[in-house]
Copies of this chain bind each other. A is one copy, B any other.
Amino acid sequence: MSEQDNSSLAFERLREMLCEMPQTGDVKLPTERALAEALRISRRSVRRALEVLEAEGLVWRRQGAGTFAGPRPDTLIDTPAPEANLTEVMEVRLRIEPHLAQLAALRAGAESVERMRDILSRLEVTEDADGRELWDSAFHREIARAAGNRFFLMIFDTIDRSRHEESWRAIREQARNRPNLERYKGQHHEIVEAIAAHDPVRAGEAMRAHIKAVNDGVLNLTMMEQPADAP
């Protein structure tokens, strides 16, 4: 009973603290360092407790901002993704986006191709991980737009939303190692060239290869996280 775990102590104290707080959103908690000092325990223990509280939905945290009480403020999500599994999303992308590239090759106008190239050039000079994610998404969406089918565009947006939710970890980790980034860059240009040349077969195949590469990259990464696995 004496020295079980400081995390549980922090957990009780923090929970108590939360109950006394006003229920209005946007209540900022003290920083982790301050809490650790106030409770006379290590910051690691505070973090463990906060992780549990976050999972319970009592608090939410954002890097660079702080820890806040209450549910997340931006719950605009209209249940787009149940429990988005990464493999499921990739399977859908692998089977749909090649069709979008094919249709885009048949129907894309010069201004669409121009926008694609512009987006790619911006993607390549972006160092920020968040920004890269945004530009990459914009590129794929531009292709979906160029496909000229509003239903396909709607479907793409459904996938894209889930992709952003799922990207929370894997893509950012993946951004760390640059070799893949170069390969993706080449694949992107290959796709645009095929579309510009109105070559649906090549466009579809290029898109398929690209998504397959991304899929493999993410898969390898998640496998690396689990120990004892050599290529």
Q: Which residues of B contact A92 (CB under 8 A)?
A: 149, 151-152, 155
Q: Which residues of B contact A72 (CB under 8 A)?
A: 2-3
A213 contacts partner chain B, Cβ-Cβ < 8 Å: no
Asked whether B118 lies within 8 Å of A150 as measured between CB atoms, the reply is no
Complex Cα distance A91/B153, Å?
Answer: 12
Give how many copies assemble into the complex.
2
Query: Given A2-B72, A49-B134, A118-B55 in contact, is the A149-B11 Cβ separation under 8 Å?
Result: no
Interface size on A, residues (CB 8 A): 75
Rounded to whole Å, the gap between the CB of A178 and the closest CB of chain B is: 20
Asked whether B5 lies within 8 Å of A130 as measured between CB atoms, the reply is yes
Contact mask for chain A residues 43-70; partner B; CB cutoff 8 A; 1 contact, 0 none: 0000011011001110010100000000
Q: Which residues of B contact A176 (CB under 8 A)?
A: none
Complex Cα distance A152/B60, Å?
Answer: 26
Q: Which residues of B contact A21 (CB under 8 A)?
A: none
Complex Cα distance A137/B224, Å?
Answer: 43
Q: Which residues of B contact A74 (CB under 8 A)?
A: 3, 9, 39-40, 145, 150, 153
Asked whether A2 lies within 8 Å of B75 as measured between CB atoms, the reply is yes
A residues with a Cβ closer than 8 A to B are 2-9, 11-13, 26, 39-40, 48-49, 51-52, 55-57, 60, 62, 72-77, 80-85, 88-89, 91-92, 95-96, 99, 103, 111, 115, 118-119, 122, 128, 130-131, 133-135, 137-138, 141-142, 145, 149-155, 157-159, 161-162, 164-165, 167-168
